[in-house]
Every structure is written in structure tokens, then in C-alpha cells.
């Protein structure tokens, strides 16, 4: 059962995803674990609630830092993300 706080969090996530998409961002990176879940999993809720699909990849800061330090993406188990991050990984190289 979703409540008011859930609706507010989803509305904020939707606004952030819409704005980053309009800005042409490749992904969203966040330090906050709750924000990561809200932005990644939230896109599934946005799709079912608003019938909008964005597929904006979301990375946690520790994942982005690990990639920057040369850790293999397979070791980070990025397949658990709800929104695929393949396009970002291809750009990172």
C-alpha cells in the first residue's frame, strides 16, 4: 500500500528523471542509497503509474567510482539495476 510520502517521492523522482532526460544526460549518479532506489526502481513505478518510459540509467557513486578506478563492470553486478546501464558503460569504455 502506497501512502502520501511514497507519492511525493515518486513525483520528485519523476521530475528529476524528466529534467535530466530533457537536459540530455547520459545517467544520474547519486550518493544516497534511498535516492538510488527511488530513481532506479521508481522508473518502473513511473511506467506503470504515468505510462511514461525514460530508461535513464542510475548509478550509485560507489559504482561510478569503482568503474573510474578500473574495476570490471561484471564484478559490480550492475545487472541488478532495474534500468540497464549498458549505454553508460559503452561511453565510459
Angstrom distance (rounded) from CA 39 to CA 51: 16
Radius of gyration of the CA atoms of the chain, in A: 13
Angstrom distance (rounded) from CA 70 to CA 48: 36
Per residue in 5-26, pLDDT tens?
A: 788 989 999 999 999 999 999 9
- What would the mean pLDDT of 62-78 be, rounded to a whole number? 94
Grid cell at residue 20? 535530466
pLDDT at 1: 57
Whole-model pTM? 0.88
Question: Residue 59: beta bridge partners?
Answer: 29
pLDDT at 3: 80
Per residue in 29-39, pLDDT tens?
A: 999 999 999 99
| All structural domains of the chain | 4-92 (3.40.50.11810)
How many Cβ atoms sit within 10 Å of the Cβ of residue 30? 18
pLDDT at 14: 96
- What would the mean pLDDT of 43-69 be, rounded to a whole number? 95
- Check: CB of residue 63 under 8 Å from CB of residue 78: yes
Q: Cite the beta strand spans of the chain per DSSP E.
A: 28-30, 58-60
Amino acid at each position: 500500500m502506497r501512502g502520501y510520502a511514497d507519492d511525493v517521492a515518486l513525483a520528485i523522482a519523476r521530475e528529476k528523471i524528466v529534467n535530466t532526460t530533457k537536459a540530455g544526460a547520459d545517467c544520474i549518479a547519486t550518493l544516497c542509497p534511498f535516492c538510488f532506489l527511488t530513481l532506479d526502481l521508481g522508473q518502473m513505478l513511473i511506467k506503470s503509474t504515468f505510462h511514461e518510459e525514460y530508461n535513464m540509467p542510475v548509478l550509485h557513486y560507489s559504482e561510478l567510482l569503482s568503474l573510474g578506478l578500473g574495476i570490471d563492470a561484471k564484478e559490480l553486478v550492475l545487472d541488478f539495476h532495474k534500468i540497464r546501464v549498458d549505454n553508460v558503460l559503452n561511453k565510459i569504455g
